[in-house]
Amino acid sequence: MYGGIWRALPGPLALRVLIALLLLLAVLALLFLVVFPRVEELLPYSDVTVTGEPPPA
């Protein structure tokens, strides 16, 4: 799959590397700005059960 993407990129090697890095940054930005915040709402990590009171004996 990655070989197909690499072959589809235009230009010489330096341009391909630059485009590949830009694509990688775009995917990471999409994940951090859109996907992860929406998935975070579904995770149970915000359900805090720790209180300042000791447990009953």
Residue 56 lies inside a defined structural domain of this protein: no
pLDDT higher than threshold 70 for residue 55: no
List, for residues 19-44, the tens digit of each pLDDT value.
999 999 999 999 999 999 999 888 87
Q: Which residue has the higher pLDDT, 36 or 48?
A: 36
CA distance 7 to 16: 9
Identify whether 54 is part of a domain. no
Positive/negative CA dihedral, 41, 44, 47, 50: negative
Q: What is the mean pLDDT of residues 39-54?
A: 77
Secondary structure of residue 20 in the 3-state scheme: helix
51 domain residue, yes or no = no
pLDDT at residue 2 above 90? no
Q: What pTM was estimated for this model as a whole?
A: 0.68
Domain that holds residue 7: 2-40
What's 51's DSSP letter?
-
In a domain, 15, yes or no: yes
Tell whether 18 is covered by a domain. yes
The contacts of residue 16 (CB under 8 Å, 6+ apart) are 6, 9, 10
Domain count, the chain: 1
Q: Is residue 48 domain-resident?
A: no
Higher pLDDT, 25 or 50: 25
